[in-house]
Chain A
Amino acid sequence: MSEAIVLPPELRLDPIVEGDVSIAGLDQHVLELIETKPPRSWYIAIAITSLMALLGFSAVGYMISTGIGTMGNNVPVVWGFLIVNFVFWVGIGHAGTLISVILLLFRQRWRNAICRIAEAVTVFAFICAMMFPAIHIGRPWLPHWLLPYPNERDLWPDFRSPLIWDVFAVFTYFSVSVFFWYLGLIPDFASLRGRVKSKIKRAIFSVLSWGWVGDARHWLQYEQAYLLLAGLTTTLALSVHSIVSMDFAASVVPGWHMTIFPPYFVVGAAFSGFAGVVLVFAFVRTTMKLENYITMRHMDLLNKMVLFLSCVMAYAYLMEGFTAWYSSNDFVRYIFVNYVFGDQWWAGCLTIFCNCLLPQLLWVPKFRRSVPIMVLVSSGVTLGMWMERYTIIILSLHRDYLPATWGIYKPTPVDWGILLGSIGIFLTLLLLFLKNIPLIAAWEVKPDIVQELARRRTSARDPERARLMETGHV
């Protein structure tokens, strides 16, 4: 059309794979982790995390056999740590879907290298999350009473109850994310099938890959299914945390009944999820030597998302605070003042500091590419989002309509044990995943590698042409 425009350096994008990459190298790198013995540090790490998980299981066992009184729950604060942890882990579990699926819909190719680990984070976080309502229902051996099946009591679950919506939403989300994860793994299992030496492993991968042969007809259907799943799962991810938020927002508890809760919870979930994923990547990138595939550009983009979501969170907090005042309802106004100036003022203040102020560091481009800063910010956000749920759940409940029923919440060692245990379960599963399942979706990254190698060839042969390609002139 016209003569080429010289791109200023700010508009130049780094390639999505870097360094010495090749298709065979990717297979070698990613798939061979499964066949080799992990280093000693892996065993040490998994020993520690399993011990944490064991501690959690013991705490749960002690709580169930002895009674709810072993936890800090009391009468105004009927929802304690268990629900805080539930909402927290459900939130972490949203990152995988949002990264993998929404970015797929927007055709962002940089998602390819990170989607597998992000989806794993989703699945494991959901396993942790589902534990909490199960032990919180009081009689954990009767969870099937939540399901609508014809029974001798002649009763149905009450579909007007947001808690029943929650059962359906969480169950759907968990099964669908496991299924989506597995579908993405099928071609990689097919790759493994040809690589592994042991006969038993070959049989296992053969069955797991359904006899996948890479037929072009199959790929056509596969991509269609992937796209449809992406569309449906996006809606699902939005709906699940919205429904979790309705557990609170459909009530008339001051501080809970807010119409902004559904989108605000979804954003909060994505926020904590992205922060969690940044933490995982900051750790996995170097230890698993994935710097060429999960590049600093990936981290930069993820950190931009964290920053963006932090701004939306700030908007939501602002709206909540403003509407609390604007509602001119004494109870609502009081509860919001109580968040930041009450007995447990540190919870509200920490929430605002970690979620709204700390991530503003990421406006500086250099910080978005600095591992210590991003670890600091993401840890802060993870803590801040946990504190946010603590603030919403516990600080809203402990001040009731009547001062006579006011109370205070003090977590017990059992509460802390269960929280620690859930972290242990999550990390144990993550470590098992890193060892046993291809941690990069090889079939999705391979075309990117081919493209990058082609670009490099062109730029070595004809730099002028490569420059024109950047702005689409060739």
Chain B
Amino acid sequence: MTRKSWILQTLAAIGAAGVVAVYFLEGAPRFWANWILWFVFLACVALGSLFLVALQHITGSIWSVPLRRVPERVSALTLWIIPVAIIALFSLPVVFSWTQPGADKITPLVLKAAWLNYPFFIARLAVCVAFWVMSYYLLVGRSMRQDITKNASVTVSLQRYSPVFMILLALSLTSFAFDWISSLEAAWYSDIFGVYLFAGAVTSALATTLLVTVFLRRRGRLPAVTGDHLYNLGGLLFGFTIFWGYIAFSQYLLQWYADLPEEVFWFQQRTSGPMKPVFMLLLIGHFFVPFLALMTRKAKKNERRLVWVSIWVLFMEFVDLFWLISPILGRGLHLGWPELAFALFFLSAGFLVLKRAMSAGEDMPVGDPFLNAGLRFHLQ
């Protein structure tokens, strides 16, 4: 264990050195584009996991009780949003189109100035992050304490808080998506964009949950979790893959069809030239591959397949964010050693955080009154 964390720490250190090198060798825009990408990716996985936790409370589903600790632990990443977000704020004057000199002469940007200005933008981020961190403590912290108190009324209050959390999460995630991706090119707009990011967040959180579950199960730490539980998780991943495809296609089709200059320029940057292969990869990889790979009943119980599909889905979520963000750097495929350095840093740091989180509390929510019922779950 310690040796592995030593390796991870070394990798993270190398990655950090690379990240700093990017800033000085490749210039600030490249650095900030990557930073924002990983910031959004981190938020997606963390908030998607919080969403999964709240989803279980809100639906009162029983099968997922034994698995709940996995997304609860993954959502520990929420706390790390704070430093990453604070650093990301320094990117505002560099890569955001509405902060550039001359933005006050471009009509659509001037009309949006009431929304896109420094104080309001920073206030929105602060409120969102504060809400997320607070929700993490309310949803996950109390659930962890229930392990010891075994107080069933905690479950009741979690079920009460979850709808409120869901409503506020919808609003905060939408504002986050509009601010940190859409407003990079502030002339563009699409009102489905918040839902688009939400779909990606839930898919990546589900993939992470699946990976961690299988990992813990192989270690013998979740012995009572059966193939039927995995089947349900796989089913959800399958469902949200379709949902993502549906949302992505709706957005693409409608803007492609209407062909309005203020909308379609955004897609033109992302579907032609060097970005075209990325677009095709996204179409096939983010939708068709998981869709076909998880179609049968058998596949959803197959641990091996679930693992590679989950890794693939996470990679595709990265490609999706790359496809959304990197075109702000201008025409061309901005892929090279800087991206590798960022991946190295954030992945190894993320693994370190997850590794520490995996030792917090019990492996299953032992205080939950429905744990036994959940363990008895089997498909009919």
Contact = CB atoms under 8 A, between A and B. Distances in A.
**A–B direct contact (CB < 8 Å):** yes
Interface stretch (A136-144, A281-289, A316-324, A367-375): A316-324
Given A260-B191, A326-B112, A329-B262, A471 B372 contact: yes
Contact of A326 (B115, B152, B167, B369): B115
Nearest to A257: B258
B46 to A, nearest CB: 21
A261 B152 contact: no
B187 to A, nearest CB: 8
A319 B174 contact: yes
Given A326-B112, A326-B115, A327-B189, A259 B255 contact: yes
Contacts, number: 107
A101 B368 CA distance: 30
Contact of A246 (B246, B254, B262): B254
B260 A328 contact: no
Interface residues of B, number: 46
Contact of A235 (B111, B153, B242, B376): B242
Interface in B265-296: none
B307 interface: no
Contact of A242 (B115, B250, B257, B260): B250
Interface in B218-267: 242, 246-247, 250-251, 253-255, 257-258, 260, 262
A408 B258 CA distance: 26
A246 B251 CA distance: 11
B369 A263 contact: no
Nearest to A249: B254
A8 B247 contact: no
Contact of B191 (A10, A11, A320, A328): A320
B359 interface: no
Contact of B246 (A107, A242, A258, A326): A242
A8 B156 contact: yes
Given A5-B152, A319-B194, A328 B254 contact: no
B67 interface: no
Given A252-B258, A472-B372, A315 B150 contact: no
Interface in A1-46: 1-2, 5-8, 10-11
A429 interface: no
Nearest to B183: A326
Interface in A46-80: none
Contacts of A319: 174, 191-192, 194
A398 B250 CA distance: 26
Nearest to A3: B150
Contacts of A327: 189, 262
Contacts of A326: 112, 115, 178, 189
B373 A472 contact: yes
B153 to A, nearest CB: 5
B138 interface: no
B171 to A, nearest CB: 8
Contacts of B165: none
Contacts of A162: 257
B253 A250 contact: yes
Nearest to A2: B366
Interface string B327-369: 0000000000000000000000000000000000000001001
Given A252-B258, A263-B247, A328-B107, 17 more contacts: A7-B152, A7-B369, A238-B246, A250-B253, A250-B254, A252-B260, A258-B254, A259-B254, A260-B191, A261-B250, A315-B174, A318-B171, A327-B262, A328-B111, A472-B62, A472-B373, A472-B375
25 contacts: A1-B372, A1-B375, A5-B369, A6-B152, A8-B153, A10-B156, A11-B159, A11-B369, A11-B370, A242-B246, A246-B253, A250-B253, A250-B258, A257-B258, A259-B255, A261-B254, A262-B246, A262-B250, A319-B194, A323-B190, A326-B189, A327-B262, A329-B262, A471-B369, A471-B370
Interface of B: 62, 107-108, 111-112, 115, 150, 152-153, 155-156, 159, 167, 170-171, 174, 178, 189-195, 242, 246-247, 250-251, 253-255, 257-258, 260, 262, 366, 369-376, 380
List of 6 A-B pairs having minimum Cβ-Cβ separation, nearest first: A472-B373, A328-B111, A323-B191, A472-B372, A262-B250, A5-B369
